[in-house]
Amino acid sequence: MSTDDDIAAEYEALLQFVYLAPVGVVQFGNGGDIDMANPMCAQLLMPVSRDGMLTNLLDAMDVVAPELRTMIDSAGDASGAICRDHRVPLPRSGRPDGIPQVLAVSLIRLDADRLMGIVSDVSEAVRQETLYRENQAWLNESLRLAKEAAEAANEAKTEFLSNISHELRTPMHAISSFAKLGLGRISDASRDKLQRYFENINGSASRLNHLLNDLLDLAKIEAGQLTYQMNALDLHPLIVTCVAEFEAMARDRGIAIDLQAGTGPAMVSADAIRLQQVFVNLLSNAVRYSPDGGVVTVGIHRERDAEDAGGTDRIVVCVADRGPGIPPDELELVFDKFVQSSRTKTGSGGTGLGLPIARKILTAHGGTVSASNRPDGGAEFRVALPAVVETAIDDSAATATERQAVSAD
C-alpha cells in the first residue's frame, strides 16, 4: 500500500472515530461557520439550534454563551487552547430525563483560520455537585444546631445546678444558723425567742421538704415515670377543698378568696391528687403575691373548644390575683424551671418549680395552662381540661381495671 493510501486510511479511521465519539466534536472558521460536526455535537447543540439547523456555532451559542466569541477574539491567531470545560447552562433541556442541561465547551485554535470545539454533557455531574453542596450545607447546619443544642443543654445544666445549690443551701443555712443560735442561748434566752428560733427552723425545713418533693416530681415527670390514676372527677368539690386550705392564710392578711362556680358539675377525667397539686400551687402563688386586703378570684366554667372541629367542651378554671402582674415578655418564661417573674421573685419564697410541674401535669391530662395580666392589675392563670360526659359513679364499685395509669409525656 502506498504512503498516500496509508494517509487516506488513517484519515478515514480518524473521521470514523470522530463520527462515533461520545462527545461533540465540531470544526469551524473564525466567523463561526461550521465545516464539520459529528452527530453527538448536533444532538447536544439542538436546544440552541435555529429551526433544527446548526450552521454557525457562534451564532447559536450567542444566546447562552456570548463570552465564547469574546474568548476567541481575545486569544488571537496563535494555535493552542482557548478555553477548557467552560460550562454553559442551556435554557431548555434536551435530555430524556428532563434534568437541567449543562454543557462543557473546550475550544482549540488549529491555525489562523480554523478552530475546533469539544462539547460534552455534564448535567449529571453538575446535579451531583449541587446535591453535594446542598447536603453539605444541610449537614453543616445540622451540626451547628446540634452544637448549639448541646451548648444550651450544658448551660441549662450549669444553671440548674447553680439554682438548686442556692435553693438547697438557703433553707439549710437558716436551719443551721437558728439551731446554733438556739443552742448558744438555750440557758438565758426567753421562751418567746426560743419559740421563734424553732418556728424559723420549722419554716426552713418545710421549704426544704417542699423543694425536694418538687424536684422528685420533676425528675419523675421528665423521666416519664410519673403515673396518674385517671377517674371521672367533678372539679367543683376539688376546688372548694383547695380554697379552704388557704382561707386561714388569706384571712390573716385580709385577703378575700372569691369562688365563682357555675351551675352543674364540671366533670373531667383526671387524677385528683395531681390536679389538687396544680390548683394548690396556683392558689398559693395568688395569695402570696396579693397585697394585704386584696382579692383572689377563682372561677370555674364550661366552654366550647374553638380549635376542636368536633366541638369538644372544656372545663376552664381561672385563678386571678390583684398583685404586681407579670411582664408581658415573661408570661411564657414563668413556666420554665427555676424561673420566677422579675416582679415577684425578690423575697417571694418560691422555688420556680411549681408552674413547670403544673404545666407538665396538665399536659399529661390533655389540658393547658397559660398566664396573662388582668386589665385592672394582677395576674391570671387559666387552666383548661377536656370535659367528659357526666356519669353516675359508685366509688365502692370502682375497681382497679377502671383506672388508667398514664405516663407523663
Give the pLDDT score at 187: 80
Amino acid found at 283: L
125-154 mean pLDDT: 88
Are 167 and 213 contacting, i.e. CB atoms less than 8 angstroms apart? no
Portions of the chain given CATH number 1.10.287.130: 128-220
Confidence of residue 194 (pLDDT cuts 50, 70, 90): confident
Amino acid found at 173: H
Give the pLDDT score at 373: 94
Residue 115, exposed/middle/buried by CB under 10 A (0-12, 13-18, 19+)? buried
**Rounded CA gap, 382 and 366, in Å?**
14
Q: Residue 409 pLDDT > 50, yes or no? A: no
pLDDT higher at 99 or 33:
33
Closest Cα to residue 298, out of 316, 323, 274?
316
Give the pLDDT score at 351: 60
In Å, how far are 16, 206, 233, 360 from 164, measured between CA atoms? 84, 16, 35, 20
Mean of the per-residue pLDDT values of the chain: 83
120-124, 290-294, 342-346, 393-397: which range is least confident on average? Answer: 393-397
**Degrees to nearest 5, angle at CA 46 with 45 and 51:** 130
Give the pLDDT score at 176: 86
**Rounded CA gap, 299 and 283, in Å?**
12
107-111, 201-205, 363-367: which range is least confident on average? Answer: 201-205
Give the pLDDT score at 200: 84
DSSP code for 33: B
Q: Residue 61 pLDDT > 60, yes or no? A: yes
354-383 mean pLDDT: 92
Cell of 102: 449543562
Give the pLDDT score at 105: 94
pLDDT higher at 401 or 250:
250
Domain 128-220 has CATH 1.10.287.130: yes
Q: Residue 79 pLDDT > 60, yes or no? A: yes
Portions of the chain given CATH number 3.30.565.10: 227-407
pLDDT higher at 29 or 164:
29
Return the exposure string of 150-159: e unless at least 16 CB atoms fall within 10 Å of the residue's CB, then b: eeeeeeeeee
69-89 mean pLDDT: 91
140-153 mean pLDDT: 88
Q: Residue 131 pLDDT > 70, yes or no? A: yes
Q: What is the CATH number of domain 227-407?
A: 3.30.565.10
Q: Residue 51 pLDDT > 80, yes or no? A: no
CB atoms within 10 A of CB 376: 6
Are 182 and 149 contacting, i.e. CB atoms less than 8 angstroms apart? no
Strands 102-109 and 114-121: antiparallel
**Rounded CA gap, 82 and 71, in Å?**
7
Confidence of residue 115 (pLDDT cuts 50, 70, 90): very high
Give the pLDDT score at 155: 78
Strands 227-234 and 404-407: antiparallel
pLDDT higher at 6 or 47:
47
269-283 mean pLDDT: 92
Give the pLDDT score at 395: 42
In Å, how far are 84, 85, 125, 144, 389 from 130, measured between CA atoms? 21, 17, 9, 21, 58
278-292, 294-308, 312-326: which range is least confident on average? Answer: 294-308
Residue 105, exposed/middle/buried by CB under 10 A (0-12, 13-18, 19+)? buried
**Rounded CA gap, 36 and 42, in Å?**
10
End-to-end CA distance of the chain: 91
Q: Give residues with Cβ within 8 angstroms of 369, minimum separation 6.
A: 278, 335, 355, 358, 359, 362, 381, 382, 383, 384
DSSP code for 50: B
DSSP secondary structure of 248-296 = HHHHHTT-EEEEEE-SS--EEEE-HHHHHHHHHHHHHHHHHHSPTT-EE
Q: Residue 5 pLDDT > 80, yes or no? A: no
204-218 mean pLDDT: 81
Stated length of the chain: 409
Instruction: Kindly report the pTM of this predicted structure.
Output: 0.54
Strands 256-261 and 368-373: unpaired
Q: Residue 359 pLDDT > 80, yes or no? A: yes
> To the nearest whole percent, how much of the chain has pLDDT over 90?
37
Cell of 11: 484519515
Give the class (CATH, top level) of 3-121: alpha beta
DSSP code for 99: P
Q: Residue 405 pLDDT > 50, yes or no? A: no
